[in-house]
């Protein structure tokens, strides 16, 4: 397919890998922010094309993974109510809550439907006027314009039986949290290309200045990622710290203004807890006052509960790039995509799930006890 195949061309990828090796003189740690990039890196083995000096650290960019347990618990509570049709993207169904997941509610007779778009959930609401239809609005800035449009249309068309359980998160505050941590090992970032397609990249310019860290807005195909790494390494080697845009075919500096306008109308910025990380100020979106009647938490009177996360799961350290999945004692032992302890094992974009799918067998081959 056009705009995909040419960015998966092996020869082009190799050329970029050579160029990276050519300019690298010492070790560098680069974090790819987005889970989609993590998935592509592990799937295509992009990290294995890089010289040994370059380490890719996998970032927190998977909204499924960072949705706090208390919101998953609220989703489970609402989905189990009689008269409710609960709509969600498929990834969220296996995310463990305190006691169970949404899939268990569905197995127990709850009317839970997997939708592709928030507009599909709105259509379900129109088709079932006697039911309460709730959409689990999870996502980063990339997804916010779609969810904003669904609520906006619900309000304009007076679809009163529609509401949203909002768990939106914002990327730049999470990057700043990582940079401000005393344990931070990140020396350069590949920023998330689709988040920047919506928001542009002016928000990153103060970060490059404050923390002296290069940020390269990067796409999702292997050649994109390799070029992003090349541009980042080049800045590091030359002692520069600027925002550069590798993904110019989709990203403009100012982003998508129309999408931002509707986001500003429908949402407001709020503090948000990130699973495994904790509360990050100004890092989430909630519905603005004009749209508060569509807030499922208010409609169903969900109390503000704080839930503890399971201690065994190290997803917090994984999400901040402090540890790799195979360093977790539970990895592939009693934590797997079928029975996940934490959300990084659930979503296909979670670092643990990507390693489980593409790296587990190879590890087993190299760690045969008889060879030691």
Partner 1 sequence: MCLAVPGKIVSITCDEPLLRAGKVSFGGIVKEVNLAYVPEATIGEYVIVHVGFAISKLDEQEAQRVFEYLRQMEELGELESGSA
Is residue 283 within the footprint of partner 1 (CB under 8 A)? no
Cβ closer to partner 1: 39 or 74? 39
Interacting span for partner 1 (CB under 8 A) from 203-211, 216-224, 267-275, 306-314 = 216-224
Is residue 225 within the footprint of partner 1 (CB under 8 A)? no
Interacting span for partner 1 (CB under 8 A) from 222-230, 272-280, 288-296, 299-307 = 222-230
The residue within the footprint of partner 1, chosen from 43, 240, 252, 334 (CB under 8 A), is 252
Binding to partner 1, residues 292-351 (CB under 8 A): 347, 349
Interacting span for partner 1 (CB under 8 A) from 6-14, 73-81, 160-168, 362-370 = 6-14
Is residue 123 within the footprint of partner 1 (CB under 8 A)? no
Cβ closer to partner 1: 177 or 197? 197
From residue 21, give the alpha-carbon distance in Å to each of 52, 221, 226: 9, 20, 11
Is residue 188 within the footprint of partner 1 (CB under 8 A)? no
Is residue 194 within the footprint of partner 1 (CB under 8 A)? yes
DSSP output for 280-309? EEEEEEEE-GGGGGGBHHHHTT------PP
- Tell me how far, at minimum, the Cβ of 369 lies from partner 1, in Å: 35
Is residue 256 within the footprint of partner 1 (CB under 8 A)? yes
From residue 234, give the alpha-carbon distance in Å to each of 124, 204, 231, 237: 50, 18, 5, 5
Q: Two tokens at 335?
A: 């934590």
Which residues lie across from 270 on neighbouring strands?
284
Q: Two tokens at 218?
A: 């990067």
User: In 186-241, where does DSSP find H-type helix?
Assistant: 193-199, 205-211, 222-238
The residue within the footprint of partner 1, chosen from 4, 303, 306, 311 (CB under 8 A), is 4
The residue within the footprint of partner 1, chosen from 251, 285, 314, 346 (CB under 8 A), is 251
Dist. CA 241–CA 26, nearest whole Å? 17
- State the chain's maximal CA–CA distance in angstroms: 68
What is the torsional sign of CA 124, 125, 128, 131?
positive
Q: Residue 325, SS3?
A: helix
Residue 26 contacts residue 185 (beta carbons within 8 Å): no
Count the residues of the shown chain that bind partner 1, applying the rule CB under 8 A.
Answer: 59
Dist. CA 52–CA 50, nearest whole Å? 6
Interacting span for partner 1 (CB under 8 A) from 41-49, 193-201, 270-278, 314-322 = 193-201
Dist. CA 274–CA 281, nearest whole Å? 10
Is residue 3 within the footprint of partner 1 (CB under 8 A)? yes
Residues of this chain that bind partner 1 (CB under 8 A): 1-4, 6-7, 12, 15-16, 18-19, 21-23, 34-36, 61-64, 89, 91, 116-120, 138-140, 142-143, 145-146, 149, 152-153, 156, 192, 194-195, 197-198, 220, 223-224, 227, 246, 248-252, 256, 258-259, 347, 349
């Amino acid at each position: 397919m056009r705009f995909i195949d040419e960015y998966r061309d092996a020869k082009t990828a190799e050329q970029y890998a050579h160029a990276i090796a050519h300019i690298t003189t010492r070790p560098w740690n680069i974090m790819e922010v987005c889970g989609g990039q993590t998935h592509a890196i592990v799937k295509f083995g992009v990290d294995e094309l890089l010289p040994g000096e370059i380490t890719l650290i996998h970032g927190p960019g998977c909204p499924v993974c960072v949705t706090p347990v208390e919101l998953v618990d609220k989703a489970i509570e609402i989905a189990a109510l009689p008269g409710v049709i609960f709509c969600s993207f498929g990834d969220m169904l296996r995310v463990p809550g305190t006691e169970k997941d949404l899939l268990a509610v569905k197995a127990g007779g709850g009317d839970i439907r997997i939708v592709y778009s928030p507009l599909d959930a709105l259509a379900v609401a129109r088709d079932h006027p006697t039911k309460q239809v709730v959409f689990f609005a999870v996502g980063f800035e990339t997804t916010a314009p779609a969810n904003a449009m669904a609520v906006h249309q619900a309000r304009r068309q007076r679809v009163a039986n529609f509401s949203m359980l909002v768990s939106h998160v914002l990327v730049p505050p999470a990057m700043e949290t990582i940079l401000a941590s005393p344990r931070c090992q990140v020396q350069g970032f590949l920023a998330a290309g689709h988040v920047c397609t919506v928001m542009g990249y002016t928000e990153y310019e103060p970060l490059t200045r404050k923390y002296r860290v290069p940020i390269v807005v990067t796409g999702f195909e292997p050649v994109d990622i390799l070029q992003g790494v090349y541009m980042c390494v080049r800045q590091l080697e030359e002692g520069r710290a600027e925002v550069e845009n590798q993904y110019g075919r989709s990203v403009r500096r100012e982003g998508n203004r129309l999408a931002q306008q509707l986001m500003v109308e429908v949402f407001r910025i709020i503090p948000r807890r990130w699973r495994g990380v904790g509360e990050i100020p100004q890092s989430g979106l909630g519905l603005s006052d004009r749209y508060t009647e569509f807030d499922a938490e208010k409609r169903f009177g969900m109390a503000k509960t704080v839930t503890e996360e399971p201690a065994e799961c190290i997803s917090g350290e994984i999400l901040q790039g402090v540890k790799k999945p195979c360093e977790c004692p539970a990895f592939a032992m009693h934590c797997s995509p079928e029975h996940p302890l934490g959300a990084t094992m659930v979503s296909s974009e979670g670092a643990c799930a990507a390693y489980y799918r593409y790296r587990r067998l190879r590890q087993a081959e190299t760690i045969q006890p008889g060879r030691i």
